[in-house]
A = this chain, B = another copy of it.
């Protein structure tokens, strides 16, 4: 007879709060966690319905756009429901976690019940290149990773590629690979916890500068979500799921920049947006800009049926 399996559902709920993209987290005794809950095979008809129900229950939020991310089943990577499923010893239920990405345009407004919004940069500070290459990369991450790589060429190549050394371009989509590299190298506090032994120096000392840890494998799920969203931006008009009904083009640009973590070229961004026809000017103006009032736009949802519904390109500054 085979052992038992428990399926845990976790949601990365993203929304804009004060111009910054943030993710919904719940706070307990330990580190922050994503909204998560068990899947009940008797009661729940689909994963997505179960997810929507418990996110609303835990955080007071109604989800809009929802997309499945990945199913994590590795033994030894602390699963998000480990605390719900009992002890992690032999004979305990195996926890498989299905991660979801959800987008909501209402982030700023409604107050969450037992949750609050945390910008993703808290968990991945090195992923924010909007004001140039983050110093922490060359001051802390790269030296530690190269020490770990020792003189193994395969490891060195990964470090150079993922952290844009020697002229390699920063690829903002590879969030998960970077996190996994840090995890493998023991630079994520989660790695030590999962191995249930202390590594000492580097991990603990650097911990905070490399991003706040999360419960279970939640930071891994968050990395998956951020990478997926950064990629999807470029070929599907998903940004608009994060925007209010009307918005200025600058607000749209700030949202895209906040998600992708790179600075964009203002003029070309505008041109690109209007050329796609995804957006419609309303003639009305938004006065509180600090300068000249900006025109308000809305997303042309209908327009998508006729076109091939493309995404956005990222015209780098």
Contacts and interface: CB of A to CB of B under 8 A. Distances in A.
Interface of A: 2-7, 38-47, 68, 70-71, 73-76, 93-94, 96, 98, 157, 161, 168-169, 171, 305-306, 308
A141 B134 CA distance: 55
A224 to B, nearest CB: 11
A171 B43 CA distance: 37
A152 to B, nearest CB: 15
A5 B7 contact: yes
Contacts of A47: 71, 73
B4 A4 contact: yes
Contact of A98 (B38, B71, B94): B71
A226 B79 CA distance: 31
Nearest to A168: B306
Contacts of A7: 5, 73, 96
Contacts of A93: 41
Contact of A46 (B38, B75, B308): B75
A42 B6 CA distance: 13
A171 B96 contact: no
Given A45-B74, A169-B308, 17 more contacts: A2-B40, A2-B42, A5-B5, A5-B6, A5-B39, A7-B96, A41-B94, A45-B75, A45-B76, A46-B74, A47-B71, A47-B73, A71-B98, A73-B98, A157-B305, A161-B305, A168-B306
Contacts of A6: 5
B5 A73 contact: no
A5 B41 contact: yes
A171 B161 CA distance: 33
Nearest to A169: B308
Given A46-B73, A74-B46, A3 B41 contact: yes
11 contacts: A2-B40, A5-B5, A5-B6, A5-B39, A41-B94, A44-B75, A45-B74, A46-B74, A46-B75, A71-B71, A161-B305
